[in-house]
Structure 1
């Protein structure tokens, strides 16, 4: 397949991977005292048991944080980690239904350390908010603000990542039907919110238009992280909204002695949808192999007022990875393919009365290496290379090809994890580089372009007795070169553009006492306009618009401020935050109110850069009412305005809230939830208001542990009373309301 001026070449990819491997192994040879000497190897053996009963606990994940090495406990609770570098490490343990623990241990060269880990049972906050303050491991670079894993992920699992993490404080979803849904954080989405898979960019076009889907399948996700503040700048400068990082573990890094994995089945009634997927990892001689696959199929979504036509979806996804895991770290590679066909509902203004059908294919190749280095101030060194080929076609109901896109992307990353130095801890130095070859065809006049970007960043934490300071500094450069220079009567002079600037963030945390913490964040971000914002020109039927770029757009800079307060007493917590984002040259497609002379059924949307101001507040809490009963909830509000026009910023979510009451005993839990939103009458020009709503849901979960397997059952009834309601960020709300009553069941087995 040819996209733009480049062709996907397996030989080319193998060559690039070889370069990355050589670059990663080079420090082992050149750096003094590397932690790869055979004499430095140590072994860790242990068993995990339940507190109070001493019963063995299988299927627990054991992580050596500093080495990023992990293993899963066997049915009898035992585990073994071999070929480990000697020295102090932190041993972390994770298991559904139990508290996470962290234990410091000292590994001695040539010795075997035996340990017993005792896990207490934990109350799982069903339907509430879980704010994580500790590192999670499993390849994570920085700590998340919100974590979806285990029971919480199983309960919330939807068709898309956006649907899965919806209803958390500050999180909404932008939709044009269920398939292309994309998250919105604190009113910010698109290119101001990074979507990552295994900490790497996906190479899709979901950030550029509301009809483009995210190429990540949630059913095989291990966990989903939401990252904000200084940690977000580790991944990009355009992270004022934050980062959503979905972990699947394409490239395996676990040490295995037997086959392990999981399989899932999901079904729901509102669209006669079903999905299935599996993930397996196994020792293959001196290597570790990992494989996953999934399939999802759903028909038109049913609402209380009838079916929303042309909202079916069919998605296939699969990957295979292979790694060499040793005491010095690991080196591996993976390949994956994501294919999807889905529908966009009819245009409420009549642009395409039968809807548009989209087909996309994303092929992804990845090489990743990690070295445990005990020299020149580093504790770990990582290098990775990712090659993505994305192809996307949009068909009218007659079968006529309206538009097509092709994108070839390459991403190079080098990260150095610094040793702790007194009060300075968890430091990271990094370099990132990327290229993007963009091509389009069909009815569009958008020129083919080639982009190059490079960035360097530094992240650090300063720890004091009652004070913690997170900070990051980053510099980015980006160039966008169209295939040809020309003057467009609507877009302007199409010519090469370059952008560069720095970003920084500081976040102090003050522990007042054992219960109360206060803190804040000051953040300056930089975002370069995209090719689509600069040079797009032509009808985009699936987006209900005739898009016109602006070749004279400048870079976007923002200052973000946040103040927060946390209170935590055992299983109870309350968190409150207020924030403001002041964005200079906020770039967005403005509805001109005029219709295109090329397509008289489509309104012209012209990209502009204006001064925008956003303010908001968030509240989340969890309160135990008795040994088995608890309540939890959240609320969030965003206010946005175009400062120079004194007009509301378009497509801002209203006040939203969710409260639940849950009962849990052992591994069984049941909860009922109420989610609500207020009227949204602060709307942009040509934008219609929406009414508020109150919706009721029910959730039931049960986990059964047998001698050889772990079984997880999650059942939900959403919109119990089949209420008619409309979400403000749903572009098709004028056609049909949100889905009606939905019964959803998820079964997952761990082996």
Structure 2
């Protein structure tokens, strides 16, 4: 009993120790002069999500950027998997077709997913089995904003944002009149067959863009059995466990195949005083829901038999999104303005759940979003931008599994951001006020006014080191499923009940970080805490209506965590090549404040009537499905046209679990990469091998609602060819 507190503290201590060992000498915290004073000039990768277009390192708010070879190595079939190795970032998992980013333990409607600074406008926040409608393999750059990004993108970014830059509407003329890229790949774990291409042409001031992707996979291989057994399910007679395995699926996960088609075309005119462009794109994916994760439950009542059955045949999701993006702007339109930028998109999204090949439930989301921002010229050293953002969506769900009503949502936001350097200090300030109106069918309309304020600073107290500080106060309006859900949510195998009287959610975040950059070491560490007032979460009531009944409710909560990353140059010579080591780790704890119990009343619809319940919910304890602590290491080598890497990530056991939630065991994933590139005067070619889960370990992420039904894929080797011209 006395050892448990030590085990709970160890992930945080390990993450801190990892950063300290990788980042500098043992005495760095006492004397900065102990570190060689040779500051490194960082590559200025521009963060497009910021209207001031600074580099990731120059921004006081925490940002990570994937670009170039690092992005090529990280790219996966889902956006969540692509960014999941960044410190503080993990992913949900609902099969290989679905993975949404988790930032510092927060996900869903608290993490905004953007394409070129405009929301994806899909239905991925409504349910865990809904995919993000953005294709990572067509991305030029992916930016992850940690902590509240509400100033720029609204209350849906209270936990952070992920912005995908695809180049369909470029900001500058390419260097070559015609350039492009082609990639062909396969994978042994799921018999993947994928191909993508991209073309960019320049004619005068015009840039024409064309891209496309085709991906087909079969059911993927797994190391053992698909369904995880409960610890107490087979504690009976000897041999009962072996009998239970007779009907188990092993080796391959049925109905996990994915078929994806994506592409876009764009035209942009870039002049000296103005620019404008338009792009049209489509994203279509058909993916399976593994057996056992999508079950109807018909329960009897007095005198009626109970019966549980699966749908008529396998369940697949057939989604399609068509989108039009527009951008325009003027340079130096007024004496005090550097630029005026307009960005907007119209979106038509449809998602049909197929049972045995027949349509069952349809989700639709049509909408548009517009963002107008003015970038000011420097005034007494202050640089900044201000603007407004408009959004309107019409969401509908039709069919027997439509647990949320059709809802129209309108948003209007005003924002301002400012920054100034004061010698070794840089200060960033900002504010946003937003109005959100939700108008559901046959329900009472709700309206919310939310305000966010932010202050962040960098103190460059040494040529090598700088300290970073952040303070935020943010608010979020509840979503339509949190307010109006009323019915069976098959993806989570529960009856889900919303609360139309929910108040807005408020958070206050404090963060401190340290960065160090030398010729040999890049190092950063951050610790943060976010206190929520009226945090909205889905609570298990203990009531059974054939399926467990869960209600959306509110209570104060606290998120606290730490993340660290170090990149160390080990060697660089013509003889041995360039060697470097990357170390990283992160940990987050999320708990409800308070103790004791409180009463919650709700109605569960049942045909033409409803059942009323009043239950006692525990106050305090852990929040469910919080990402476990982890430690990772990766060795990279390059010489001439060769590059290679070998790495591993240890996901620790997650036993800080919510009420009625089972703990998840730890696991280690090992991967390796090998590529050779050769250049010709007009083209470059690259062949590659990417190995994943090389030890073929059974891994069930604690963040996944499918962890009991679908482990991660087993050992796989991706291989292919890239061409650049």
TM-score w.r.t. length of structure 2: 0.80
Structure 1 residues 138 and 470: CA distance shift in structure 2, 3 A = closer
Following TM superposition, by how much is the alpha carbon of 1:350 offset from its aligned partner in structure 2, in angstroms?
Answer: 5.2
Structure 1 residues 153 and 349: CA distance shift in structure 2, 3 A = closer
Following TM superposition, by how much is the alpha carbon of 1:250 offset from its aligned partner in structure 2, in angstroms?
Answer: 2.4
Following superposition of structure 1 onto structure 2, how do residues 394-413 of structure 1 map, counting pairs within 5 Å? 394-396=353-355, 398-413=356-371
- Correspondence 1:152 to 2:60: no
**Matched-pair contact (CA < 8 Å) for 1:154–1:746:** no
Following TM superposition, by how much is the alpha carbon of 1:282 offset from its aligned partner in structure 2, in angstroms?
Answer: 1.7
Pick aligned residue for 1:719 from 693, 708, 720: 693
3-state SS in 2 of match to 1:249? coil
Pick aligned residue for 1:294 from 207, 213, 219: 213
Following TM superposition, by how much is the alpha carbon of 1:131 offset from its aligned partner in structure 2, in angstroms?
Answer: 13
**Matched-pair contact (CA < 8 Å) for 1:155–1:701:** no
Partner of 2:391: 434
- Correspondence 1:538 to 2:487: yes
**Matched-pair contact (CA < 8 Å) for 1:356–1:541:** no
Query: Distance in 2 between the 1:234 and 1:546 partners?
Result: 35
**Matched-pair contact (CA < 8 Å) for 1:231–1:459:** no
**Matched-pair contact (CA < 8 Å) for 1:132–1:146:** no
Partner of 1:136: 46
Following superposition of structure 1 onto structure 2, how do residues 256-405 of structure 1 map, counting pairs within 5 Å? 258-284=177-203, 287-305=206-224, 306-347=251-292, 351=296, 353=310, 355-373=314-332, 375-396=334-355, 398-405=356-363
Structure 1 residues 692 and 132: CA distance shift in structure 2, 3 A = farther
Query: Distance in 1 between the 2:172 and 2:679 partners?
Result: 23
Partner of 2:431: 473
Partner of 1:233: 151
Following TM superposition, by how much is the alpha carbon of 1:703 offset from its aligned partner in structure 2, in angstroms?
Answer: 3.0
Query: Distance in 2 between the 1:713 and 1:558 partners?
Result: 47
CA RMSD of superposed structures (Å): 2.2
Partner of 2:606: none
- Correspondence 1:625 to 2:570: yes
Partner of 1:745: 719
Deviation string, structure 1 residues 185-216 (Cα, Å, up to 9, x no partner): 10001111110011111110112211100001
Pick aligned residue for 1:198 from 113, 116, 123: 116
Instruction: Name which structure has the greater RCO, CA cutoff 8 Å, separation 6+.
Output: 2
Deviation string, structure 1 residues 110-129 (Cα, Å, up to 9, x no partner): xxxxxxxxxxxxxxxxxxxx
Deviation string, structure 1 residues 521-543 (Cα, Å, up to 9, x no partner): 11111110111211122223233
Partner of 1:651: 625
Following TM superposition, by how much is the alpha carbon of 1:546 offset from its aligned partner in structure 2, in angstroms?
Answer: 2.4
**Matched-pair contact (CA < 8 Å) for 1:253–1:288:** no
**Matched-pair contact (CA < 8 Å) for 2:178–2:200:** yes
Structure 1 residues 286 and 660: CA distance shift in structure 2, 3 A = closer
Query: Distance in 1 between the 2:263 and 2:110 partners?
Result: 28
Query: Distance in 2 between the 1:232 and 1:150 partners?
Result: 28
3-state SS in 2 of match to 1:304? strand
Pick aligned residue for 2:672 from 698, 711, 714: 698
3-state SS in 1 of match to 2:555? strand
Structure 1 residues 438 and 527: CA distance shift in structure 2, 3 A = same
Pick aligned residue for 1:166 from 63, 66, 84: 84
Query: Distance in 1 between the 2:512 and 2:564 partners?
Result: 12
Partner of 2:242: none
Structure 1 residues 713 and 560: CA distance shift in structure 2, 3 A = farther
Partner of 2:169: 251
Query: Distance in 2 between the 1:135 and 1:740 partners?
Result: 35
**Matched-pair contact (CA < 8 Å) for 2:205–2:271:** no
Partner of 1:638: 588
Unaligned residue ranges in structure 1 (runs of 5+) = 1-129, 485-493
Pick aligned residue for 1:455 from 388, 410, 413: 413
Following TM superposition, by how much is the alpha carbon of 1:705 offset from its aligned partner in structure 2, in angstroms?
Answer: 2.1
Deviation string, structure 1 residues 685-741 (Cα, Å, up to 9, x no partner): 222211112232212233322100123444211121212222211222212422111
Deviation string, structure 1 residues 322-354 (Cα, Å, up to 9, x no partner): 222211131111111111111111235954656
Query: Distance in 2 between the 1:727 and 1:329 partners?
Result: 48
3-state SS in 1 of match to 2:491? helix
Following TM superposition, by how much is the alpha carbon of 1:558 offset from its aligned partner in structure 2, in angstroms?
Answer: 0.5
Query: Distance in 2 between the 1:524 and 1:274 partners?
Result: 47
Pick aligned residue for 2:642 from 661, 668, 678: 668
Partner of 1:564: 513
Following TM superposition, by how much is the alpha carbon of 1:278 offset from its aligned partner in structure 2, in angstroms?
Answer: 1.2
3-state SS in 1 of match to 2:155? coil
Aligned residues: 607
3-state SS in 1 of match to 2:157? coil
Deviation string, structure 1 residues 41-94 (Cα, Å, up to 9, x no partner): xxxxxxxxxxxxxxxxxxxxxxxxxxxxxxxxxxxxxxxxxxxxxxxxxxxxxx
Structure 1 residues 245 and 746: CA distance shift in structure 2, 3 A = farther
Following TM superposition, by how much is the alpha carbon of 1:230 offset from its aligned partner in structure 2, in angstroms?
Answer: 7.1
Q: Which moved more, 1:326-335 or 1:497-506?
A: 326-335
Structure 1 residues 268 and 349: CA distance shift in structure 2, 3 A = closer
